[in-house]
Amino acid sequence: KPAVRVAEKTGNNWDEIKTVRLVNGAWQVKFDPQFGGPAETVTFNQLTDWSRNDNKSVKYYSGTAVYANTFNWAAKPAKSARFWLDVGTVNNIASVKINGITCGVAWTAPYRVDITKALRAGTNNLTIEVSNTWANRLIGDHSLPPGERLTNTTAPYRLDKKPLLP
């Protein structure tokens, strides 16, 4: 049978996203000292790549670090509204909580999670757990004497002259 022509829909088949709020201010970041991270909470005035940090405990850190910040939200959103938190580029995975409510995990572009269910009018507490691979810890430990290393590998030759991962 001949096909019947159907009206075509024009436009995008995805939602248009617009920025309505930025999370500004200093971030308090806790690293795990058992994995070589700093024992004290570190303040990041802006979000930066750990591998470019001057502190070697941050630069060579591998594991999970917990970022904390707060932001104010003007009013409870309408039921039909959806709000997303864009966490930027993450290496390698980030789990987002607002007010203790898990909102999702970002592990690939566009690195966004839906935060609608967790938002409340007034102050909101944001925590993001960021985890990377063991590569930077192995690279950092490779330059230390064996007694000072936290990690060991059976293939140390693969680490020679390797750059740190972002």
87 contacts 94 by C-beta, under 8 angstroms = yes
Quick check: 98 pLDDT over 90? yes
Per residue in 109-155, pLDDT (tens digit) is 999 999 999 999 999 999 999 999 999 999 999 989 999 999 988 88
Reported pTM: 0.89
Average pLDDT, the chain: 92
DSSP 4-25: PP-PPP-S-SS----------S
Q: What are 42-69's pLDDT values in tens digits? A: 999 999 999 999 999 999 999 999 999 9
Question: Taken in order 45, 51, 56, 61, is the CA torsion positive or negative?
Answer: positive
- Report H helices in 96-151: 135-142
For residue 77, what pLDDT is reported? 67
